Amino acid sequence: MSALLTVERLRKLHGARLLFDIDALALEEGSAYVLTGVNGAGKSTLLRMLAGLEDAQAQGVAWCGKSVVLAPYPRALRAAVVYVHQHPIMFSTSVAHNVGYGLIARGVAKAEVARKVSEAMDWAGVGHLRGSDPATLSGGEVQRVALARARVLEAKLLLLDEPTANLDGAAREQVIALIPALIAQGSTVVMACHDRDLIGLPGVQRLKLRDGKLEYKQ
Nearest to 125 by CA among 198, 185, 178, 182: 178
pLDDT for res 143: 95
Nearest to 119 by CA among 107, 130, 104, 131: 130
What is the C-alpha to C-alpha distance for residues 35 and 205, in angstroms, rounded to an integer?
9
**Side by side, which strands form the sheet with 17-28?**
17-28, 3-14, 60-63, 66-68
Instruction: Give the rounded percent of residues in the chain with a pLDDT score beyond 90.
Output: 87
**pTM of the model as a whole:** 0.94
Q: Is residue 16 part of a domain?
A: no
Q: Is residue 207 part of a domain?
A: yes
Q: Is residue 63 part of a domain?
A: no
Which range, of 8-17, 41-50, 87-96, 112-121, averages the lowest pLDDT? 8-17
pLDDT tens, residue by residue, 166-206: 898 899 999 999 999 988 888 999 999 999 999 999 999 99
Question: How far is CA 186 from each of CA 84, 86, 92, 122, rounded to the nearest angstrom?
Answer: 17, 22, 31, 20
Which CATH number does the domain housing residue 49 bear? 3.40.50.300
Count structural domains, the chain.
1
Full domain range(s) for residue 46:
30-55+73-217
The predicted model gives 102-131 an average pLDDT of 96
